[in-house]
Structure 1
């Protein structure tokens, strides 16, 4: 007997079950939680340590290669000096033998080498000295050959290992770049940004007398960079955004002196970071090293007469 056709209820039930299974699978596939900022920073720290070890290993191998090449060069110099000594000794012995042969008189040796020794004894002494020099040359040649072989083998190994180190470093750097991009994505949008990208004005608040946007920017700079000196924000009796609570100075040196090269580089990074995130943070402009950037590139500023007034010792960030 033929089976009864499925009812509409059964068909709808099966379709609903399939949709539920597919939806559950899709949700499961996308349910992996995004890593937190602390997890990303921990991973970044590990990868930076790994890259440092790779660079250290590479540099040590370069030093080993240089030492081997220097050893080979020194051995070559010894060989050259020994070969010259052999040539001089052989020339002297040949000269003595020729004079003795031509004169047929052993007394010639006495003329060449005055003293109480006989000509035959002098000749034997010269031959013994020649043999000793030849032995030294042979030893020098062996040393030079060994050093050259070691340097060549080490050079070949260094080339292979250098390529491997560079590959691993590039791989680690790719991951570091990815993590740093994710960290940039974690920079929150400050309060007061309108839908058209402009910023609503804010009143200063708190004991530090700055706006919430300025406070958020300062906190992020302190979080992302190891600052060497103080940060100054509110300042009365001056022009610009400081008395409005909308600017901070991140000091890279003290006492009106020029910053060290390391702190100069740090200031460069802070200024670049602020400009990269200006749309999220509400940065109005950045002043650093007698230049100002309002988001469309750096331009030089007039000379105000001192290191501090020209912003050589601090990065100034003004907020909207």
Structure 2
């Protein structure tokens, strides 16, 4: 294994084992009638990011092993080719000499040679000599042809191995790209929990207020906040609606006074892990909900105009990814999202 591949594989495995969270609602199956809204069970048929990462990692390792074996076979075949070519070069002068002698002698026929014998002893001697000469000539020509055939076969097999290596290298590139893409969907590997996260999330509609250069225009707190009696910016309200559309319908609080950050500006929401109020994530269901909501927001960060996300002692910025967070709240009871 080459050093760059080893470094990449180590990073991918580390990212996978550090990782990430579970299957989520992320907007699909309808909730069980016996459970509150937003508490739907995970869909057993959904594709899980952890499973996808494991599959591509196994595929990468398998392709890498095949590539190594192919290179070893190629080395053996190249040795065979060198040996066959050496035999050809050794036999070629001998066969050429046979051809020259045959031309000079005018290819005397077997019958003519035998008729020249003057006695029975001479006859038998000529027969033996002729057979030996023919045998030597045939053997040399046969040896040369066999060596040429061996060289041609070895060359064909080398070409096949090179094609196989190109195929496996392509597979490895694809598996690497899929792994990196899968990890990028959740912004890296700092999300809490020992489970998995859904391999896909709904695609959010583009938020309003984006400039032609890709920047986001400033917005005032002009829209009514559905979660309080306060106000929200159009972009924040859009994000709130898109999250609910994706299945994240548990208790949410957006506008509030009392701090200098984004809530009083109508640019932030706190998504609880339960149907009413806030409490830390004590259950697997609550952890999954928070993880999958976070994954949805990260996957759509560019479309929603997200500034940052805080969840379970970690903070995520589009420009830097995940980092540890130790503010006044550890954010284990809700997912905080601020908008630009």
Q: What TM-score do the two structures reach when normalised by structure 1?
A: 0.41
Q: Which has the higher contact order (CA 8 A, sep 6+)?
A: 2
